[in-house]
Amino acid sequence: MRTPFYFYDLPLLRRTLDAVQEQLDRNPSFRVHYAVKANFNPGILAEIAARGFGADCVSGGEVKAALDAGFPADGIVYAGVGKSDEEIRFSLQAGISRFNVESAAELQIIDELAAEQDCVAPVSLRINPDIGAHTHAGITTGLAENKFGISYEQLDEVMDLTLSLPHIRYCGLHFHIGSQILDMADFSALCNRVNELVIRLQRGGRPVGDINVGGGLGINYQHPNHLPIADFASYFDTFRSHLQLPMGTPVHFELGRSLVAPCGTLISRVLYVKQGTHKQFAIIDGSMTELVRPAMYRAYHRVENLSSSEAEEVYDVVGPVCESSDVFVKEMAIDKCRRGDFVAIRSAGAYGESMASHYNCHPLPESYFFEG
Ligand code: LLP
């Protein structure tokens, strides 16, 4: 078997989805749309689509991948600051349930393209809540300085435009504050913002529609074995107890990482153990081309030697790509490595395979599924 490859633990994915479903059963107005960007492997998409969840997409390609995997068009929402004409036309034809619109300029184009097709586009307005989530700067999205969403100042104006365009149907509001968020206070801050805005819209005699609070729930990268399932109970309880919406208002969630990160592992092999001046390197055949998160965000993924049970030694675990950032972890104690050992890089099911690249002419990684 050629390494590196992705290995997906389907029983764990199923237990994770069961845990989400348990929360949805307790909250009938809540609906989950899986954020396809986290992992669009067809096997993963099919598993999630079969549960009846919706899909959150950020490109025409993702809308197509979701449709192909069996997500119904009326369960697909589509966000993104730069939707192209071709992507909008395709999504209108497919009959998706929502365009999450990020600017007045985009709204006007969607209206024109819907007129061409003689249809009406269902639209939610993505609001920039200006909330700084406690996560990596590269993955906060809800700050005024970020490119995402419509600012508070422009909301009334864009809302009036939305209501006036003949080929646009206003459906609700959309928010997203960032990713890998573990502090529930960030989500309660979002709820407070949503509550303020809802009151403001109601006072101005404007419609509210439904509320999409985006995604962002984090997972425990440190202890993948002890805490394999994200804390969905605290997450959904935070929204249940903090949102103050008219009775029966649908609340949509766009979870990506928390659904799929734990079930994926990047399996790689040790090529060489190299003694440096002050440290030793375990050089493996996996690299930033299969899993870019450590190089891109200095993200931590637990590394385990699956072949050895010899006493631990300290290594920098690195890949073969000619970039000094091609490092998985520095100075980590793992069981003694020898050439040919299998190494597992854990919690890699989200933003792993979906961000893989061909850099250095590396082939894209294969994937295998453990069915249980
Ligand atoms: N909804 C919207 C509008 C988003 O932009 C995102 C993620 C999600 C939902 C899903 O968020 P999640 O539940 O997965 O946190 N590549 C980075 C993460 C980028 C997230 C981008 N947006 C990483 O590897 O950490």
d(CA 39, CA 351): 6
174 CA: nearest ligand 1 atom: 3
CA dihedral for 84, 86, 90, 95, sign (positive or negative): positive
Is 180 near ligand 1, meaning CB less than 6 Å away? yes
Is 257 near ligand 1, meaning CB less than 6 Å away? yes
Quickly state the pLDDT bin for 136 (edges 50, 70, 90): low
Is 216 near ligand 1, meaning CB less than 6 Å away? yes
Segment (H or E) for 92: helix 85-94
Pick the CATH number of 10-261 from 2.40.37.10, 3.50.50.60, 3.60.140.10, 3.20.20.10: 3.20.20.10
Average pLDDT over residues 58-78: 98
Quickly state the pLDDT bin for 365 (edges 50, 70, 90): very high
Ligand 1 centroid to Cα of residue 149, in Å, is 14
pLDDT above 90 for 147: no
Per-residue confidence (pLDDT) for residue 138, from 0 to 100:
57
Please give the mean pLDDT across all residues of the chain: 95
Is 168 near ligand 1, meaning CB less than 6 Å away? no
Closest CA to 126 of 60, 57, 80: 80
Per-residue confidence (pLDDT) for residue 129, from 0 to 100:
86
**Helices (runs of H) and strands (runs of E) counted in the chain:** 10, 16
Query: What angle, rounded to 10 degrees, do the helices at 85-94 and 60-69 form?
Result: 30
355 CA: nearest ligand 1 atom: 16
- Of 53, 150, 257, 260, the one to substitute when testing ligand 1's pocket (max ligand atoms within 8 A of C-beta) is 257
Residue closest via CA to ligand 1's atom 5 equals: 176
Is 179 near ligand 1, meaning CB less than 6 Å away? yes
Q: Boundaries of CATH 3.20.20.10 in the chain?
A: 10-261
215 CA: nearest ligand 1 atom: 13
Q: What pLDDT digit, counting tens, does each position of 256-275 carry? A: 999 999 999 999 999 999 99
- Of 173, 175, 179, the one to substitute when testing ligand 1's pocket (max ligand atoms within 8 A of C-beta) is 179
* Residue 123, beta-bridge partner list: 99, 170
Residue range 262-370, CATH number: 2.40.37.10
Q: Boundaries of CATH 2.40.37.10 in the chain?
A: 262-370
